[in-house]
Amino acid sequence: MKVLIIGGTGNISTAITRILVNRGDDVTLYNRGKTKAQIPGDYKSIVGDRTDHAAFEAQMAETERFDCVIDMICYRPEDAQSVVRAFQGRVGQVIFCSTVDVYTKPAENYPITEQAERQPSPSFPYAFNKALCENILLEAHQRGDFPLTIIRPAQTYNDSSCPIPLLGPGTSLLNRIRKGKPVIVHGNGTSLWVACHRDDVAPAFVTAIGNSKTFGRGYNVTGEEWMTWETYYQTVARVMDAPPIKLIYIPTDLLGRIAPKSAEWCVVNFHYNNIFDNTAAKTDLGFSYIISWEEGVRRMIAWHDEKGDIDNSPDYPFYDQIVTAWQRLGETIVNELAVMDV
């Protein structure tokens, strides 16, 4: 198969590229050439900026016809419109990497299936724009411009990733957990979350290539351990053999006001339940959730410890300032009001 990957050196796309190269496909990567793919084997590269839409489309007009184009870095409606102009009538299939965040939050039913409403709030620009991209590409599919397949991952990590820190860098979070320092969690820590290793996600993209069953359809490809955020972090502490984790529960809306930039995704995403039905991907794409969260964390810790990233992680003072202020406020409220509960 002759496959173009727009991106190709990112988190999921590196794993996709590796599978395709290993099985002997004719692979071309299109990106800015700033990140070298850590992939042995033969593949081609085209250097360019896909956000310069006119230049991108001119470059694509000079290429041969591809059996499949996998777009991993389409984030804005303008990007999707450019894909339509570049490939209408001259590609066997387009696979779009979307996200489960396109589903309306909160959902009416759980786990969320592909039939759920897709109306994300404009206050969540990443999700809102991905949904617009889906609509543009689906309209192109319905017009007959090209067959389209949509893949919707949730949190997807690799060995060099870190658990989501909510605030500050991920290695600082791991350092806190190792030292037994308090860890902030939004709300009461019981909203549900899923995570999936890229080595489980990438094969679904590959299986979709040339698969007519997938044309015009979207697929959830997500983790299958429905974890509370308490469990999510407690697993990290257990794998690190760290002291029992002390969680600091801060109301999500307040956390968003305290750290409007760092904690933005807590407000628009993390405090909702994020659990999904992968039945369609299992049936049509052979998706299988193999790498558990515990095993994934074990890999991440080993990767960062080999580089000394955790123990040498820089301090993030703002984190401790929030913890101290919240604990002080809690004590003040207790001392002021508890006497009234008689």
Residue 39 scores a pLDDT above 80: no
Instruction: Answer for the pair 103, 77: CB distance below 8 angstroms, yes or no.
Output: no
Structure confidence by residue, pLDDT tens digits, 194-222? 999 999 999 999 999 999 999 999 999 99
For residue 86, give the 3-state DSSP assignment. Answer: helix
Both structure tokens of 221: 């490809």
Structure tokens that stand for 107 in this block: 């959902």
Provide the residue ranges of all domains of the chain, joining segments of one domain with +. 2-157+195-221, 170-194+225-273+292-340
Q: How confident is the model at residue 67 (pLDDT cuts 50, 70, 90)?
A: very high
The residue type found at 80 is A
Does the structure show a pLDDT above 90 at 342? no
Distance of CA 245 to the CA centre of its chain: 25
Q: What would the two tokens of residue 341 be? A: 């509960």
Q: How confident is the model at residue 338 (pLDDT cuts 50, 70, 90)?
A: confident
Q: What is the pTM of this model?
A: 0.95
In 3D space, the residue among 266, 296, 273, 278 whose CA is nearest the CA of residue 153 turns out to be 278
Q: How confident is the model at residue 36 (pLDDT cuts 50, 70, 90)?
A: low
Give, to the nearest 10 degrees, the angle between helix 125-143 and helix 77-87.
Answer: 20
Span 170-194+225-273+292-340 CATH architecture: Alpha-Beta Complex (3.90)
CB 196 within 8 A of CB 154: yes
Question: What's the pLDDT band for 20 if we cut at 50, 70, 90?
Answer: very high
Ramachandran angles phi, psi of 332, nearest 5°: -65, -45
pLDDT digits (tens, 9 = 90+) for 207-264: 999 999 999 999 999 999 999 999 999 999 999 999 999 999 999 999 999 999 999 9
CATH of segment(s) 2-157+195-221: 3.40.50.720
What would the two tokens of residue 309 be?
């990233």
pLDDT of residue 37: 61
Contacts of 321 (CB under 8 A, 6+ apart): none
